[in-house]
Structure 1
């Protein structure tokens, strides 16, 4: 193929796809920003001289580096499961590639071969629903603060913005602490933790721990990958810059900046480089690297800005797009959205073969389904080849095992996102943010369990993987081919389950262990009422003790909820609160023949609805579905009951 010839250029001296262990050395310096030994500070108000103390230590159970979607999910799940957690983010906003700074759509299993999504639930869905309730106008800058509001409300979680984890300090093979730098306060933090999760994408914290990682593309022979190059090389998928334009209602002349790089190619459908519509930018304005893509970041950013403004100049001034006459630039990104750099090695490397064969993993904790979408490594600087090679489109989801989410050689290090243990070709699918979110929730939950049990992630996988999977399922994550089998759930032990009405499904499906309809097998796993209000009742032959009832309702996982710059509304995407979501419901319990209301939800905003109450002995519970956000019927997928 021509692209193989193109990508061979400039590879001399680069390291091909191989694992790189980093050695750590500590260098003492009298210019340490945290010490401020030479600071000459005169305080006018007191007339005194002082020296700022900007070197601090923090101690927690879990440190999460990187506040993108994967990192947010990891931090929240860790905190919710009992671990004292810190999330450090090197930007002023959370969300990573999905934030207002970059504005990549939060895709995941957005569409399978039949065109339908298999949307992620759990924490990432809670974030997306939080946005629907609090940002109906779809403003990107508000979206940043919606995520911030969601994450910072966790009582067991501390969020540190503008803070980068820059160096891991080791004790033997384990990470003991991490040196962090907070730009805005000029403060050096040393954060001690028991477990560390790198969700930062580039993975500086993990790299400085000596964790094995690789960059570049594996050749066909290593993993028997059909779509890999014949020989290994150093190319990594590039970063992109996006722009938005606006119709100003009058002619808007345009003069490109001095750094613009001329773009002369017209629309070539087979190359996936259409400039239409031009209102929401071009993902294919992309530049990759066959050397050190992290070290070249600023150079790449400069070239990307030149290419982006060059494309806009072509649209405005070539004469080929007169429809652009009244349009002007409304927003242009300054931070590139990255796709690939370091990939850290775990006990398993997920490959194209695993994905295409839908390999079943006993330690599965997440899933994906975006196409094998390997971007042209040369990006816009290789116009002779397509912008992306859409190698393969899946007809059902694939599994992601826990063994590719922790380090092979650093015992207390986990990771989630685009830096996990996958081959280059597998990364072309697993890098999607919704898929990364499933990994994030998995590793956050795993880290909390490791803290509780005083074990490392490998031990968790070898001896306690069932407990991790059960907790994820209880917390509304989805694991393909893995129904819940929670022995502590008392709902399946009910002697009678009945409903006031049924229009589809069966009320007894609420305890079968599946909390969604399984699309690829066309399996129904729900109960749906015939109108509202409607009731579901569980009865036990002998009194049981309860303090928790957990319900999973319907949010229509066949429609995507992500914020989109084009506000798309159709059979696959929605800009509104799902009308199927339950708005109002109540819980009653029967004790000594008398029904008593235990709980009421009036403005529910989540699929997973929890009722927590003082311990009660009961022989029956009754759930009354009162109102949705628009649907005329109510639908439930699961009901769980717990003693504690």
Structure 2
């Protein structure tokens, strides 16, 4: 019964006082989500997760939950949903049932792509304990955020995201504050390869670590949810022992978008982290708030993406491994977005004028050949393809990418993902219905509904890595992480732009090859937040340099270095900056020959 909340209040009516009854139900907290999936990618916009029917064109199994109304009687129903592809009417239609009886209207295909409350009519509640069922009708990504039942027809819940956040907290009894999750030496936010490596390296140095990840699996872009292979090399290091944790997590090279989920090693990553006694792992927890003391982070607040329970993590040091720079942004860290101008950076690969252009987000997909033919519907709401232009392939690779400055990769993440889905489904519909000789027996085996991001915020450190640093191989005294990937800056494929200018979903690149070079430690901590490290694609670089540092084996080595730096910080009771200014020899000694709690004396407890 944890999945719902009842809130009863007294209202003053025109002719006297009467009791108004309310019931608020979060979609993501249904007892049984069936074939629906929980999507939290837009939490920083909506302040909530939601349920989505991701069936790749086949209706998914029902989601259901049991709730208890405060009393029987007549209620008015509101459903918060949207039509994600209103061109002119999208495919995400679904219905809601109470004790097996459907509401008269259906939802999710109303022609508006804005989240809003939609009236479901009056219902007569004859039993206080009632079963709610969400029934998908299409398999094409219908979605809903919450349900609201009220005995007052005029009681419409707020739709503004921040006002609705306060409303949710009140109805979910979250106004007394989050639960205490503990105090930690290092709090790592983000469980991709960078964050996982940071947590492991710090824990093996004896630090008490919290690893917070907003999905049910670790690995980020290298997880089975996104399925991007690891790139960058760990065998050309100036410091060869750095990268050994990356090697532990590495599950080989399954390629991009492999239909076999097991090839990405989710269970292996989880087992390694759960085997670390100093790591407290918190999956399905999205950090969306911070507590500050001057220029230091005191604690972060995370919410469980399914139960909505909030938790408070207090720490001495923090590491932003979110990719989006979410923690740094919340804390007020200096950051950059988009491309610097050539005049500002002196980089030959920078544009003449600064702009908001960023590399895009990919949603990969794959099909498999079956023994018999199958159908796929026409998709008038999707992007339309023709004999003149279509993508003739049975699976996706990295080029299926949307963003390029046309969409904001943080605040329009849902729109980017949905645009990718419209491209995938539209192209697949064309292949199935117009190239039957080749694709009649193929079926979609997997389509990613979690976007694989490349670029968003870059948090600024004491050193901003540049194209010149990379191409000239500058060896700074704090050069610690060896990087090997090309300067790989994506841009819209020319042919794709000719047909879909401003709405591109297919990328091209030009690889600028480099010799192995080192990333300075000063690019791995914030210049203005005194206890914040960062590792991953959000480190302190220019846009051009980011094109080389962003790949995951390199990001993983950054995480290892951050864990070792956190150890030195804790041992010396100093800031991340003072590791460089006062204790660089000790830090670089660990980088050269990493130790762990089995080889090194534990830090004395205060």
TM class by shorter-chain length? 0.5 to 0.7
Which residues of 2 match residues 13-162 of structure 1 at below 5 A? Answer: 31=167, 33=169, 36-37=172-173, 55-109=179-233, 121-128=243-250, 139-140=261-262, 143-162=265-284
How far has the Cα of 1:35 moved from its partner?
Answer: 9.2
**Rounded Cα–Cα distance in structure 1 between residues aligned with 2:272 and 2:364:** 26
Contact 1:73 1:437 in 2 (8 A): yes
Kept in 2, the 8 Å contact 1:220–1:229? The answer is yes
Which deviates further from its counterpart, 374-383 or 449-458?
374-383
Instruction: Please state how far the C-alpha of 1:260 moved relative to its aligned partner.
Output: 2.2
Indicate conservation of the 8 Å contact 2:478/2:522, yes or no: yes
Q: 1:265 to 1:296 in 2, by over 3 A?
A: farther
Partner deviation per Cα, 1:31-69 (whole Å, 9 max, x = no partner) = 473995499xxxxxxxxxxxx996324211110000000
* Residues 60 and 191 in structure 1, CA contact (< 8 A), matched pair in contact too: yes
Aligned mates of 2:384, 2:522 — CA distance in 1: 46
Q: Distance in 1 between matches of 2:309 and 2:598?
A: 42
- Which residue in the other structure is 2:423 paired with? 307
1:200-219 equivalences under 5 Å are 200-219=322-341
Structure-1 separation of matches of 2:289 and 2:385: 41
CA-CA distance at 1:265 after TM superposition? 7.7
Q: Which residue of 2 aligns with 1:260?
A: 382
Matched-pair contact (CA < 8 Å) for 2:242–2:592: no
CA 1:129–1:243 in structure 2 vs 1: closer, same or farther (change >3 Å)? closer
Whole-Å separation in 1 of the counterparts to 2:192 and 2:172: 32
Deviation sequence 1:127-186 (CA, Å, 0-9, x none): 226999xxxx97437721111111111001100011111112111111111111122343
In structure 2, the CA distance between the partners of 1:157 and 1:111, relative to structure 1 (3 Å rule), is closer
Contact 1:287 1:381 in 2 (8 A): no
Q: Deviation at 1:258? A: 4.9
Tell me the residue number matched to 1:375: 490
Of 354, 360, 368, which residue of structure 2 is paired with 1:246? Answer: 368
Q: Is the 8 A contact 2:197 2:559 kept in 1?
A: yes
| CA separation of 1:84 and 1:34: change in aligned 2, threshold 3 A | farther
Structure-2 change in CA distance of 1:380 and 1:342 (3 Å):
farther
In structure 1, how many angstroms separate the alpha carbons of the residues matched to 2:170 and 2:591?
40
Structure 1 segment 389-468 matched on structure 2, within 5 A: 389-394=509-514, 396-468=515-587
Structure 1 alignment gaps of length 5 or more: 1-25, 40-51, 113-117, 268-272, 477-549, 551-609, 615-644
Paired positions, count: 427
Would the aligned equivalents of 2:241 and 2:592 in 1 still touch at CA under 8 Å? no
Q: Do residues 177 (structure 1) and 292 (structure 2) align? A: no
**CA–CA separation in structure 2 for the residues paired with 1:142 and 1:129:** 6
Structure-2 change in CA distance of 1:322 and 1:185 (3 Å): same
In the TM superposition, residue 468 of structure 1 has moved relative to its aligned partner by 1.6
Q: Secondary structure at the match of 1:339?
A: coil
Unaligned segments of structure 2, at least 5 residues: 1-161, 602-606
On the 8 A contact 2:486/2:511 being kept in 1, the answer is yes
Give SS of 1:194's match.
strand
Quick check: 1:34–1:54 contact (8 Å CA) kept in 2? Answer: no
Question: Secondary structure at the residue paired with 2:169?
Answer: coil
CA distance in 2 between partners of 1:249 and 1:462 (Å): 65
| TM-score, reference length from structure 2 | 0.64
Contact preservation (8 Å) 2:201, 2:564: yes
Distance across 2 between alignment mates of 1:352 and 1:295: 28
Over the aligned positions, Cα root-mean-square deviation in angstroms equals 3.5
Contact 1:131–1:143 (Cα < 8 Å) also in 2: no
